């Protein structure tokens, strides 16, 4: 199976090179460009699966470029990679069709997983600290909710609280989505106790526990 094709747009040459090097281990980086206008042109010519966009770029900024890219035939997924750390920028990014937003200070550990999510890959995420985990999970949930896909979160109380904070920072009102039945937040210990037998998971009890949860979400 061919690797997914990625286009990188950032006006700083060093950052472009770093992003490309991070992604090349797993994906096919088809081009790197230095401004939003070039990103639009390269997307139309090369048909990447994902475009990684900076926000502050000349010619067209990332939001302006994304608005045009979304209208192209077979439009790719969009991942914003930005130095901005602001709730309003996060809201605007998702309003412009982002499937993920990664802050540049976190891209060493989060960019590849964000691109995987944009491509709807399934996998295991190994995290170095709790803030990294909460940002990644919140981004995954937020992307789904914005795309009208229900989400189920089974987590410890402390992780759930941290993830809610991250959702709020992204402009996602977790309480509203919970009230709509689109977001289910369940306690990990309570769910685990439902299907563990002699300290091991029981297949029958697992299905009896999880199937109603999945049915409720879907």
pLDDT average, residue stretch 2-9:
86
φ and ψ at 187, to 5 degrees? -75, 130
Whether 54 and 70 have beta carbons less than 8 Å apart is answered as no
Three-state DSSP at 3 gives coil
| Structure confidence at residue 180 (pLDDT) | 87
What pLDDT shows up at residue 42?
92
For residue range 165-204, what is the model confidence (pLDDT) as tens digits? 888 888 888 888 888 888 989 999 999 988 888 877 788 8
Rounded average pLDDT over 16-33: 89
Tell me, what's the pLDDT at 1? 40
CB 49 within 8 A of CB 26: no
- Phi and psi based region of residue 164 (left: phi greater than 0; alpha: psi -120 to 50; beta: remaining): alpha
- List pLDDT tens digits, range 34-69: 998 999 999 999 999 899 988 888 888 888 888 898
Closest CA to 100 of 49, 170, 37, 35: 170
Mean pLDDT (the chain) is: 84
Give the tens place of pLDDT for each residue, 98-137: 777 788 887 887 788 888 877 875 556 667 778 888 888 8
Q: ∠ CA(155), CA(159), CA(165), 5° rounding? A: 125
Residue-wise pLDDT tens digits, 204-214? 888 888 888 88
Instruction: Compute CA distances 215 → 67, 95, 183, 191, 201, whole Å.
Output: 35, 29, 13, 15, 21
The phi and psi torsions of 196 (rounded to 5 degrees) equal: -90, 135
Q: What is the average pLDDT across 4-21?
A: 90
pTM of the model: 0.56
């Amino acid at each position: 199976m061919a690797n997914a094709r990625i286009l990188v747009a950032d006006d700083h040459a060093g950052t472009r090179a770093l992003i490309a090097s991070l992604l090349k281990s797993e994906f096919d980086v088809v081009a790197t460009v230095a401004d939003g206008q070039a990103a639009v042109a390269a997307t139309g010519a090369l048909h990447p699966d994902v475009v990684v966009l900076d926000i502050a770029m000349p010619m067209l900024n990332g939001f302006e470029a994304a608005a045009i890219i979304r209208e192209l035939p077979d439009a790719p997924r969009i991942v914003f990679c930005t130095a901005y750390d602001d709730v309003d920028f996060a809201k605007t990014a998702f309003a412009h069709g982002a499937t993920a937003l990664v802050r540049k200070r976190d891209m060493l550990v989060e960019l590849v997983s964000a691109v995987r999510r944009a491509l709807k890959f399934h996998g295991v995420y190994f995290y170095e600290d709790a803030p990294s985990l909460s940002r990644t999970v919140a981004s995954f949930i937020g992307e789904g909710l914005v795309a009208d896909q229900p989400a189920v979160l089974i987590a410890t109380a402390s992780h759930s609280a941290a993830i809610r904070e991250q959702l709020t920072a992204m402009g996602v009102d977790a309480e509203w989505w919970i009230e709509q039945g689109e977001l289910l937040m369940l306690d990990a210990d309570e769910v685990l106790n439902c299907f563990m037998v002699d300290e091991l998971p029981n297949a029958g009890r697992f299905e009896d526990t999880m199937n109603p949860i999945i049915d409720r979400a879907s």
